[in-house]
Chain A
Amino acid sequence: MSQRRLIEVTVLVLVGVLLALATVNDVIRQSHTNQRLVVDLDTWRAYTGHVYHNLTIEQDLKGSGSTREVICGNTSPGAPKTRPQLCLVMRGPVVHGRRTVYGGYYLPPHTLYDVSSARYACFGPAKSQGLCEHGV
């Protein structure tokens, strides 16, 4: 094998190892996130007493270690987003199969985008954090 070919193969193997490590790491990371999201959905159902399946999850992508998620679902039976939505803000670790709810807010029916101007009736820490203030 020529020296150039040897260098090329070495670089390819090194890049391959890096990409393989990154891929496996991402699969593990995504599995942990999925595990947390499953608990988020269970927490929403336990909190509201509604066993709905069509819930929306919005993840906070600011910071790789962020565990903040907002889970929204109908307040009464109906097609997704056709009823007022109750959104719960969840953070922190999973404890005994549940996550801590840091307040929340409501959204009117048929709201396409969860933006502060659409929210109302903020409660708990979500209120003090100004999640319902227009212009935020």
Chain B
Amino acid sequence: MALAPTAERSNRRWAPVLAGLCALLLLAATAEIVLDGAVGHSPLIPKSPNIAGWLGGIGERLGYRVFLVALLSFSAAYVGLLALTGRAWLKQLSPRWAIGLVVALHAIVFAGPILLSTDVFSYIAYARMGVEHGLNPYVHGPISIVGDPVYHYVGSSWKHVPTAYGPLYTLLSYPLAPLGLTGALWGMKVVALLASAGTLVLTWRCARARQFDPVFALLAVGANPLYVIYGLGGAHNDLVMTFLMMAAVALMLTGRSSSGRETGAGATVMAAALVKATGVVLLPFMVISRRRLAPIVGAASAALGGALAAYVAFGVHGVDIVAALNRDAALVSTDSFPTEVAHLFGKPGVFPIDHTLLKGVLAAILLYLMWLTWRGYDWVAASGWALLAIAVTSTWLLAWYTLWSLPLAVVTRDRRLLWTTLAVQGLFILHQTSPLFVQVQ
């Protein structure tokens, strides 16, 4: 429905002011988390070398309440910003303004400590095991390098666990190992920052190629609370996988369609899978959509090259991704939706039979999406739904898993994917809020 001229004039006047307020709130919430996090001694900040000590004198120790209030404020401002940007009367929002906001958010998080996860120390430990200690990270866990400085920072649940990441990521992390712990940590932060920047650039390009508002796409991904605070804040390698996924999508969506680009896209999807196995999900949808040999040839070549490199570097264990996936599929986290549903029905948690049922549900969803893609449904949207389905049906859900589908969702015509992804993220955030009501101390 068209707005009355007076209302439209009023909206045009107020919308930029409201957008500015939302942006300020995003920056303030991020700065609060980072500055308080830099003080250390917080259950939300993993034990870490003091890389953000120079920020430590400004904030106070980060507690659950302050963190959750900041996260909820960030989320509210993000929703407000998206609502404003999505309106026709704010379409003229300056791209420079949006890029400046996303760059500022990234800069604040980059300058601060590692947030909310010890995963980055596992990445460094696996790299140092291979480079400094001559150990195979696909056979041994970080426990085998007890004397290494990184060992004390690895999460207690992961000390005995060999890496589950793809061989490409493990090999990419090797050059960081000789830099020492602090150097490697900054290296990981730079990798995450570059991967995020690359993802956002590609998201922008794909949105333009499909004639969507690139400003909206940029803000939806680059100012997303879980993306900024959890994904970038924890320097997670999911950002590297997402960057490669978006590179494959960009190859297919931008420029003239050619066998070369399709071969490259297939190879890039496989590269994403060689970083983190989940990335492979895009491949069947890409292949079904194009019904050409080129993506298969590209993916098969990359898989062959990757397997060969993995075998040379890590032996047969580096190639056996299925074993690592099976091991991880059995994990259970309290934040996963299956665990929550089990609690709703009075069960203490998920049982082995539930894992089987969930795998069946996921398989059915994937088959349905493949059938839809065969019938002409957008393969990018189908890939996004598949990634979201994996996150929702997984018994091991972490915040950054809900980011997988986000860049795909903003470059598809089926807006249901974006709203569903954001709803899933909203429920994830809601699930974190119990310390707001009663805090244990």
A-contact bits for B316-346, CB 8 A (1 contact / 0 none) = 0000000000000000000001011101101
B440 within 8 A of A: yes
B434 within 8 A of A: yes
What chain B residues lie within 8 Å of A38 (beta carbons)?
A: 438-441
Q: How large is the interface on A (under 10, 10 to 19, 20 to 34, 35 or more residues)?
A: 20 to 34
Q: Which of B340, B392, B423, B440 contacts A25, CB < 8 Å? A: B340
In the complex, chain A residues 51-93 whose Cβ is within 8 Å of any chain B Cβ: 53, 57, 61-64, 66
Q: Which of B337, B431, B439 contacts A27, CB < 8 Å? A: B431
A30 within 8 A of B: yes
In the complex, chain B residues 70-110 whose Cβ is within 8 Å of any chain A Cβ: none
The answer to whether B348 touches A64, judged by C-beta atoms less than 8 angstroms apart, is yes
A-contact bits for B363-381, CB 8 A (1 contact / 0 none) = 0000000000000000000
The answer to whether B343 touches A29, judged by C-beta atoms less than 8 angstroms apart, is yes
The answer to whether A27 touches B343, judged by C-beta atoms less than 8 angstroms apart, is no
B-contact bits for A1-43, CB 8 A (1 contact / 0 none) = 0000000110010001011111111110111001101100100
B435 within 8 A of A: yes
What chain A residues lie within 8 Å of B340 (beta carbons)?
A: 19, 22-23, 25-26
Residue among A26, A37, A63, A66 facing the most chain B CB atoms (10 A cut-off): A26
The answer to whether A23 touches B427, judged by C-beta atoms less than 8 angstroms apart, is yes
Q: How large is the interface on B (under 10, 10 to 19, 20 to 34, 35 or more residues)?
A: 20 to 34
What chain A residues lie within 8 Å of B435 (beta carbons)?
A: 34
The answer to whether A30 touches B348, judged by C-beta atoms less than 8 angstroms apart, is no
Closest residue to A53 on the B side, CB-wise? B441
The answer to whether B438 touches A31, judged by C-beta atoms less than 8 angstroms apart, is yes
B301 within 8 A of A: no
A63 and B348 in contact, given A26-B431, A41-B440 (Cβ under 8 angstroms): yes
What chain A residues lie within 8 Å of B424 (beta carbons)?
A: 19
The answer to whether A61 touches B440, judged by C-beta atoms less than 8 angstroms apart, is no
Q: Which of A20, A23, A62 contacts B348, CB < 8 Å? A: A62
A34 and B343 in contact, given A12-B416, A20-B427, A62-B348 (Cβ under 8 angstroms): no
The answer to whether B348 touches A22, judged by C-beta atoms less than 8 angstroms apart, is no
A2 to chain B, nearest CB (A): 12
The answer to whether A19 touches B343, judged by C-beta atoms less than 8 angstroms apart, is no
What chain B residues lie within 8 Å of A25 (beta carbons)?
A: 340, 343-344
Residue among A8, A19, A23, A35 facing the most chain B CB atoms (10 A cut-off): A23
A-contact bits for B404-441, CB 8 A (1 contact / 0 none) = 00000000000010001001100100110111011111
A18 to B147, CA, bound (A): 48
A21 to B341, CA, bound (A): 8
The answer to whether B430 touches A23, judged by C-beta atoms less than 8 angstroms apart, is yes
A25 to B440, CA, bound (A): 19
B349 within 8 A of A: yes
Residue among A12, A29, A30, A62 facing the most chain B CB atoms (10 A cut-off): A30
B133 within 8 A of A: no
Q: Which of A22, A24, A35 contacts B438, CB < 8 Å? A: A35
What chain A residues lie within 8 Å of B12 (beta carbons)?
A: none
The answer to whether B343 touches A64, judged by C-beta atoms less than 8 angstroms apart, is yes
A22 and B343 in contact, given A34-B435, A63-B348 (Cβ under 8 angstroms): yes
A61 to B343, CA, bound (A): 12
B352 to chain A, nearest CB (A): 16
B347 within 8 A of A: yes
20 intermolecular pairs with C-beta atoms under 8 Å apart: A12-B416, A18-B344, A19-B337, A19-B392, A19-B424, A19-B427, A23-B431, A24-B430, A25-B343, A25-B344, A26-B343, A27-B430, A27-B431, A30-B434, A35-B438, A37-B440, A41-B440, A61-B349, A62-B348, A64-B348
The 5 A-B pairs with the shortest beta carbon distances in the complex, nearest first, are A30-B434, A22-B340, A34-B438, A64-B348, A22-B344
